Amino acid sequence: MRALVTGCAGFVGSHLTESLLSDGVEVVGIDCFNDNYGRSAKLANLAHTREWDGFDFVPVDLARGDLADLVSGCEVVFHLAAEPGVRSSWGSRFELYLRNNVLATQYLLEAATASKVARFVYASSSSVYGEAEAYPTSEDALPRPHSPYGTTKLAAEHLCHLYHRNHGVPTVALRYFTVYGPRQRPDMAFSRFCTAALDGERVTLYGDGRQTRDFTFVSDAVQATRLAATAPVAIGGVYNVGGGSQVQVIEVLRRIEQLAGRAVSVRNLPAQAGDVRHTRADTTRARADLGFAPAVHWEAGIQAQFAWTAGAGVVGA
């Protein structure tokens, strides 16, 4: 099989690419190295993938269009490339979110239509739910994005639905719930917590720390993503991808303090625009249709991320 992975140098994308390559899948990897975090970190994410002969890296900006040649010959498209982040999606940066999350997806779907791909897996986000109407939240809940970022992710989901219904593109949308683990983006909470604990520096915590998230370890997210590419009943569907536990952010920070053997100084700031109080995924549908079952408990996952942060030399970054 030959697969296209967009965002292959990113956090989840690099893990997915390695997983595919290790199973003998040829991968065309795309990344445009935008400015959401450093180019050097993304290149480091690709260090192992370049060891495989079956990996072909193409630095391309998807939003420039004309993607037919890239998609041609690929049976599966894994579309993970995006402009990430809730807090930075306001104001003048919103144009980037429209360009990289909506327009780029539309161009890729056009190319997938022409190439008749066997599956198009789109990485969406729990941010489409906003302040959800119930917890755990099922895919049948009314999406009510609480940020411009969530709005663009939902818009791209709608595009997937439109291309499936009108052009037969076999799309699947996955709503990731707060993915963490080795290589997590430097601006995300766990990365900042681990780095602060190792450096002995103060960390900024938005809100009171009692907000909860359904944290999903990266290997579980990769498992769900790959299952979505093969499960026959998944086509046209939308699925939650969650880790199976609802944990307070402050509880995670306390665990990281234990791992570091030192307390972390915390600077509390008010919750930011777009932040939600709670998330929790109902993964019943993903379990039934995809065979998805998260395997990594959050404490074991945090230990893995902390060990990676210490060993990867990102302290002080």
**All domains of the chain, ordered by start, with CATH?**
2-185+215-244+280-295 (3.40.50.720)
Query: Is 66 buried (19+), middle (13-18) or exposed (0-12) by CB count in 10 A?
Result: exposed
Q: pLDDT tens for the chain, 317 residues: list them.
A: 999 999 999 999 999 999 999 999 999 999 998 777 778 889 899 998 989 999 999 999 999 988 999 999 999 999 999 999 999 999 999 999 999 999 999 999 999 999 999 999 999 999 999 999 999 999 999 999 999 999 999 999 999 999 999 999 999 999 999 999 999 999 999 999 999 999 999 999 999 999 999 999 999 999 999 999 999 999 999 999 999 989 999 999 999 999 999 999 999 999 999 999 999 999 999 999 999 999 999 999 999 999 999 997 554 43
The pTM is what? Answer: 0.96
Distance CA 316, CA 223 (A): 31
Give the torsion sign (CA, 32, 34, 39, 42): negative
Give the torsion sign (CA, 129, 130, 133, 137): positive
Q: Which of 37, 97, 129, 149 is catalytic?
A: 149
Q: Is 176 a catalytic residue?
A: no
Pure H helices in the chain: 11-22, 39-45, 68-71, 94-97, 104-115, 148-167, 189-199, 218-228, 249-260, 284-290, 298-311
